[in-house]
Structure formats: structure tokens, C-alpha cells
Structure 1
């Protein structure tokens, strides 16, 4: 593999023969964007030029895609300009030669990157190059499409504060998605990275909300405030009969990742996760007030908690629909929703922190129940293989009340499993695995990690109140 080559065996002229053509091609594309007045696109091409200067294998693949797209752009633009000049009887040969030259430069740069010299020049992380490149392209592509399709609102914050800078934010979001994918692709690193990335998402979400309340109204999605209570994702539309943006985001994530909304994307769930980890932190420090129990890991919830969860979800959604049909004032409904949200925070602080279990997410949150139920539509499944030794390592890290001795014997977790995959990273015997019909567990793991990274990056850039 190119990544195993010693420095002395790598081609010394790779920078001049591989990187310089890329820099020239991206510089010409940036210059065209500047000439057109699109400085955001010019900055985006500048980021691509920077990626082509790195030794990252995934950056090579992304640069190849960008150069190929740039070549097609030059070819299409050249044809249009030549046709225009021919239609008006103007000289077009010199223009055609110039456009053919810049098109040829872009394709030549692509060719050099695609060859052995390009692979040796970009030699770092070849084992995860394709998944991370796909994460970049999917995240950037989805944000570009969303920016083009949302005419009623300015979706990206960069466009709100610096009009025209959207392309730069999109490319940077793609770079971020590739970085996140690199973390989530490693089972061991993913166990530590997931809660931190999740906490970052929650901090950005609520930070924008706080600044919006303090007067920075451009940080709000529509300028109209909505309570950040997860139950309102469904209860709000049931009450109002409209307002489906967050519900659509929730539905898309469930269709793509199953119940992983509750372990990767829920802006409140990160709080419950942090509270549930306080018990372990206090135990390590010898803190007082930590309820001792036999064994390791979170304290399982009683079976009646599962029934309570479904009854609570049915009650909340039925009440929202009934209040809407009965014409209950918005202020009264908002007060009820706010009190419900505060009750959820109390559950986190009072129960999750003491049991080491995410009690709010597994026994209180109505949207968690919806996510677990609808998540069965998605093809992802967590399975316990025959290599399980019942060592209990997975039980020590499961905070969703999804694993116990009975579930290990059955070979599958409970419905409350959110595919956080912490158990897979903790299993030293390779018994825990994520499955997807038609592919190996290794491929399933990579596909899930890429989708999780893409949704995280996209939601981080668009999910606001």
C-alpha cells in the first residue's frame, strides 16, 4: 500500500507533477468565481486547493471529484460561449482554444491524482479514504441542494451574516463530515467521540437559541420561537396542524439510521447522556451519594418503566391533538409543554445521574418511544453472535436499558436500543455486531458511520429553532 512506503521511495517530484496542476486548476476556477462576483464560491475552491496540498487519501478522492466537476463546468461554459459568439458572427477560435486549455488542465490534474503518483502523494488513511470521501460529498451535496431549494428562508447562517458565503460553509461542512466519519469508523474511538460530538451539536443548537433570545434574531430559523422540547416535534404539529420542518428532519434520520436519532442527533438527549455519566464519574472519584449496586455499569430500569413510557407518549400526543381541536390558547399549551420539558430535566438530574441510565430517553421522552418504534422500518439491527462469553462489558456501557442477561441469551437488544454502538466498541470478543441485509458486518459498520457523520454535519448546519 502507498501508506506503507518509506519516504525515500515516494516520488520526490509528486508535488510538482500532482499538486501544482491541481492548484492551477482550482486557482482558475476561483478566479472565474471572483470575476462572476461569487466570492463564496471562490473561497470554496480555495479550500479545495488546500485539501489537494495535504497527504490525506480521502482529500485526494474529493479533489478528483471536484476537478472532474470543474472540467465539465469548463467544457459546458466553453460550448455556451462559443455558440454565443458563432450566433453573432464573432471570432470564436481563440476562445475555444482557451476553454479547451483550461478544460484540459483540469482533466490532466484529475488524471495525475487518479494515477499511482497521486496515490503515493496522498498516502495517509487509505483504509478509510472512500468512506470519508463519501461523507464529504454527501454532506456538501445535501447542503447545496437544501440551499438551492429553500427559497422562502435563508437556510445557512453564513448566507445570513455574509450573503454569498454559503459555498464556503458547505465545503467546510463537508470537511467536518469527513473528520467525524474518521472518528466514527473506529469502534474504540467512536465510543468516546460520539458523546462529545453529540454534546457539541446540543451546545451549538442551544447556543444559537440563547443568542437568538438575546436579540440575534438571524440565528433563529424563522424568527418565531418554539420551545426546545423533543415531544413538540410531533406534539407541535398535532396541536397546530402545521409546522413540519423538525418532524421531517426526524423522519429522515429514522428512515436512514433507525432509532439512532436518540443517540446521535437529539438536542436534549445529549443532556441525559451527560447526566447518566455523572454516576460513573462520581464512583471513580469516590463521591458520596452514589447508590452502590452489585456488578458494573448502569442500573437497569424496572419492567413497569417500559409500560409507563408508552402510556406517557400516548397521553402527551393525544392531549396535544385534543387541545388543538378544542381551541386551547397557545399560551396555555406552551405553558403545559414547558412544564413537561422541565419535568424531563428533573428526571435527568434526579434519576439519570443516580442510576447511570438514561432514564429520560428510555422511560420518559415520547419522541424516544416513537423513534424506537419507527426505527424498526430501517434495516439496521444489532445482534449478539455466538462468540459472546457473557463477560458483561457491553452491559457496563449500555445506557438505554437495552441489554441484560436475557437479551444476550436471545441474541438481540430490547426495543429501546438506539444503535449507539457503544457495546460493539466495548466487546473484546467481536460478538456484538451491526448488521445490514446483504452486506458483511464490516460494510454495515462503515455505511452506518458515514450516514451518521453526514446527518450530524448537515443537522449541525441547519437544525435551529
Structure 2
């Protein structure tokens, strides 16, 4: 199966590079570019300068050679044609209501719609595909991430009635449209790196660290008086365990717990290796020293579960006992500092993410809920027990015993570092028991989209 997967990916890449179709001449690009500029002009006419700017920037993608850019621009033009139809219907109805002639207007709007469709068609041809030849084997996945990120951030932008979530809109009202576009472009780029075996390990680690820097950077600015960088101004401790322990203590405020649960159901325990703002610290500290990762005793897994049960039980007990908030805050702060100490003194020494795999209560919840999610990491019969995967696993999830079983231990976070170093393709991400390149692409699309949306809206 592994050889078949490698052959499938190889054939796709070869087809991209050796296509006999001649690339499209640059002159043809004037059609999709003008189609997008017409859309931009429409929004400018209605006073939305920032959305206009976003569409103009999108049109510039037509001059790149990126495979995903071709798909995105083509989709924008196709959807734009529906906008022109709606606008045409509205204008015609207005003319009819006042008894004014409307035939010529209908022809004009129909022509604009057809021009938009023509631009979409030009970008969908084989000659266009031959021109946009960079990353064509991952183009659909990258375009999917772009669209999902745009959709997710746009919903975050327009749905809340009493809060402005996007940072750009807080500083310059309306500019969130450009922020959405920039984050979506970043997400598409990152998706390509995460789908490349040679870059996926470093890309995940640095992107994860970048998310943590953005998260805590905004918190620091907020604490120094720049309250615009805070979500609501009501601060709480940035201790992951409080996502569960906080609602248990307060008896309310379940939004973060619901968001966490939905994220884990979508991406499995990958929440711990892609989305946790504290886990990135543990990752960085575990990489401070070179060499193979260390190991902790098997009984540590039971201690980790005991810590989680104790923390959540104490939070609920404090609620039932009516303890003052300040007492709970101090206890949470001390627990958070203990976790940081574990990172500095254990994770950095063992080159293992001890905090995440042996201490963090939220990690236990992620692994537990991850069992409900359909995503799994498995080792196929092609595994030679070379232990290359065990040497890079920082979650203490892969041991010789687990390789014999064909699956990692409970602490696995689906980080996919093992899949990057396995020369035999034996380490595989599975969806409902099925492993294939398409399954891997789907997994990366989901986790990258979540990462990008969190990057845009996650702050204290």
C-alpha cells in the first residue's frame, strides 16, 4: 500500500511537470484580470474600499505561477457571475417598478456575467494549468485551505453583533477584508509546506510557534495598556487546563470548551500539536538540544491522567464550596507555573515534550476526545521496526512495543513527524481506517484551516 501511495504521488508530480500542453500566453490573462477588476469596481461604487483592495490583490495572483492561485481566481470569477445575476435582477426590477426601459440594462448585466464566466473558463483550461505549474500536485488542497480560511474568518467577522473579532477592523474599520485575504494566502502557503515530506516537520513547528508568539504578543500589548489587542478586556490566566477547569469552577462560560471540543472532533488530538498556544513553548524547549528524544517511564501516563482528574475535581470542588475567585486564580497560576517548570527542567533535558505528554490535563482531554474523532495514526505491515519514527516522536507515543501493536500510544497528537521520516511509508494517517494521499491531504487541509482561523481571532 505504501508503495502504491508513493507511486500515486510521484505520478501526479510527473504529470504536472511533463504535460505536453503548451502554457497559456500571458495575453489571455487579461480576461480574468478584467473580470476581477469589474468586481472590484462594483464594491468601490458602493463605498467598500477595503474589499475592493482585497479583490485587486486577488487579481494579482493571476500573474503568479501558483497552481492554487489559478483555482482561487477561477472560483472567485465563477461566484462573481452569480453576484452579477443578482445585481442584474435587482436593477431590472427597479426599472420595471418605475416603468423605465430595462432591456438594454439586462443585456449589459448579462454580458458582464458572461465575461466573468469567460474569465473563470480561461483559468480552467489545460493551457492555464500548464502555465500555473508551481505546486500543482497540492494546488487543490491549498486552494481548499484558502477558501475555508476566508469563509471561517469572514463568518467570525460578520456574525458577532456586539464585538469586532478581527484586529484590522478594530484599528481601521473595514480593513478586515484585507486581513482575511492575507491570512488565507499564508494558510495556502503553509499547507503546501505541510504536504511536503521534506518541510512538514519544520513548517509545523515554526508555524505553531508563530501562532503562540502572535497570541501572547497581543496579550502582552494588552497588559501594557493597548486594550485594543484584547478580546474583551476581561483577562483570565492563559493556562490550557482552564478551558475545562474554568467552566467547572464558574458554572458558566462554556464557549472555549465548546470551541475546543469541536476543534478536536474535526482534527482529532492534532489540537495539541497545531493549535495549543502553550504547547508551542514545550515544542521549542524540547528542540533546544540536538539528538534523539528521550523517554519517560510507562507509569507516567497514569500519573498524567491522575493529574487531569485531580485538577478538574478540585475546580468543581471549589465551586461547590463557594471559594472566592482570588483563591482559584492563585491555584491556577501556581499550576501554570508548575507546567512551565516542567518544560524548562524536563522537556529541554529529555528533548521530549514532557509537559504535553505527561502533565497537561487538557492534553488528556484532547487525546480522549480524539478517540471519538475518525482520525488515527497507524503503522502498516511495511514497517521494518527501524525506529526512525521513535527517534523523532516528542510525545512519548512511539516505542518498540507500540510498533509491534501497529499503533502509537494514548499520548499521540497526530503531529505527523513520524510520517516525514518513515522511508517505507508505513506511518500513515487514517480516516475511518483508510490511508491514502487524499486522506493525508484532507487532514492537512483541516488542521491548516483551523490554525489560520485561530491565528486571526485567538486572543485573550
Category of TM-score, reference length = shorter chain: over 0.9
1:336 counterpart SS class = helix
User: Counterpart of 1:336?
Assistant: 331
Matched, 1:210 2:220: yes
Matched, 1:4 2:18: yes
TM-superposed CA distance for 1:27, in Å, is: 1.1
- CA deviations on 1:59-104 (whole Å, 9 max, x unpaired) are 1111111001111101111101110110111232332232122112
TM-superposed CA distance for 1:23, in Å, is: 1.4
2:166 pairs with one of 156, 179, 202:
156
Q: Residues 429 and 435 of structure 2 are in contact (CA less than 8 Å); yes or no, is this contact kept in structure 1?
A: no
Distance 1:425 1:227 in 2: 35
Matched, 1:274 2:284: yes
Distance 1:275 1:393 in 2: 21
User: Counterpart of 2:5?
Assistant: none
User: Counterpart of 1:134?
Assistant: 144
User: Counterpart of 2:266?
Assistant: 256
- CA deviations on 1:95-124 (whole Å, 9 max, x unpaired) are 223212211210111111112232223222
Distance 1:73 1:438 in 2: 41
Distance 1:125 1:186 in 2: 10
Root-mean-square deviation (CA), in Å? 1.5
Q: Residues 3 and 125 of structure 1 are in contact (CA less than 8 Å); yes or no, is this contact kept in structure 2?
A: no
2:311 pairs with one of 316, 319, 330:
316
User: Counterpart of 2:297?
Assistant: 302
Distance 2:166 2:56 in 1: 20
1:403 counterpart SS class = coil
2:455 pairs with one of 450, 455, 460:
460
User: Counterpart of 1:288?
Assistant: none
User: Counterpart of 1:383?
Assistant: 378
1:232 pairs with one of 214, 223, 242:
242
2:78 pairs with one of 29, 45, 68:
68
Cα–Cα, structure 1 residues 440 and 353, in superposed 2: closer, same or farther, change >3 Å?
closer
1:46 counterpart SS class = helix
Matched, 1:245 2:255: yes
1:112 pairs with one of 116, 119, 122:
122
TM-superposed CA distance for 1:441, in Å, is: 2.4
TM-superposed CA distance for 1:458, in Å, is: 0.5
Cα–Cα, structure 1 residues 25 and 438, in superposed 2: closer, same or farther, change >3 Å?
farther
TM-superposed CA distance for 1:5, in Å, is: 5.3
User: Counterpart of 1:78?
Assistant: 88
Structure 2 portions without partners, runs of 5+ = 1-14
2:200 pairs with one of 181, 190, 194:
190
Distance 2:252 2:185 in 1: 35
User: Counterpart of 1:24?
Assistant: 34
- CA deviations on 1:284-320 (whole Å, 9 max, x unpaired) are xxxxxxxxxxxxx222111221111111111111111
Matched, 1:103 2:122: no
User: Counterpart of 1:165?
Assistant: 175
Distance 2:45 2:147 in 1: 26
Structure 1 portions without partners, runs of 5+ = 284-296
TM-superposed CA distance for 1:438, in Å, is: 6.5
User: Counterpart of 2:11?
Assistant: none
TM-superposed CA distance for 1:2, in Å, is: 5.5
- CA deviations on 1:335-387 (whole Å, 9 max, x unpaired) are 11111100100000011111111111111100001101110011111111122
Distance 1:121 1:97 in 2: 33
TM-superposed CA distance for 1:252, in Å, is: 1.8
1:377 counterpart SS class = coil
Distance 1:343 1:261 in 2: 22
Q: Residues 3 and 124 of structure 1 are in contact (CA less than 8 Å); yes or no, is this contact kept in structure 2?
A: no
Give TM-score scaled by structure 2 length. Answer: 0.94
User: Counterpart of 1:15?
Assistant: 26
- CA deviations on 1:211-237 (whole Å, 9 max, x unpaired) are 111111111111111110000111111
TM-superposed CA distance for 1:187, in Å, is: 2.3
User: Counterpart of 2:402?
Assistant: 407
Q: Residues 71 and 103 of structure 1 are in contact (CA less than 8 Å); yes or no, is this contact kept in structure 2?
A: yes
Cα–Cα, structure 1 residues 2 and 298, in superposed 2: closer, same or farther, change >3 Å?
closer
